Amino acid sequence: MKPAKKLGLAAKRCAIVPIVAVIVSGSSRGARAQDKACSLATPAELQAALGWSVPELKPQTMPGMAASICMGRTAAGSVMLRVAKAGNQTGDKEAKGIEAAKKMGAQVDVKTFGAVTCSTMIPPANLAQYGFNTTCTVKKGDTVAGIEVTASTQRDMVPIEKLRPLAEKIANRI
Structurally, the chain folds into a number of domains equal to: 1
Domain of residue 48: give its range. 9-171
User: Which of 101, 131, 88, 132 minimizes the C-alpha distance to 19?
Assistant: 101
Residue 76 within a domain: yes
Residue 88 within a domain: yes
Model confidence pLDDT, tens digit, residues 120-155: 999 999 999 999 999 999 998 889 999 999 999 999
Lowest mean pLDDT among 12-26, 60-74, 118-132: 12-26
> What is the C-alpha to C-alpha distance for residues 3 and 15, in angstroms, rounded to an integer?
20
Other CB atoms within a 10 A radius of the CB of residue 134 amount to 27
CATH of the domain at 70: 3.40.1000
Residue 1 within a domain: no
Average pLDDT along the chain? 79
Residue scoring higher pLDDT (90 or 2)? 90
Q: According to the model, what pLDDT value does residue 174 have?
A: 85
Residue 2 within a domain: no
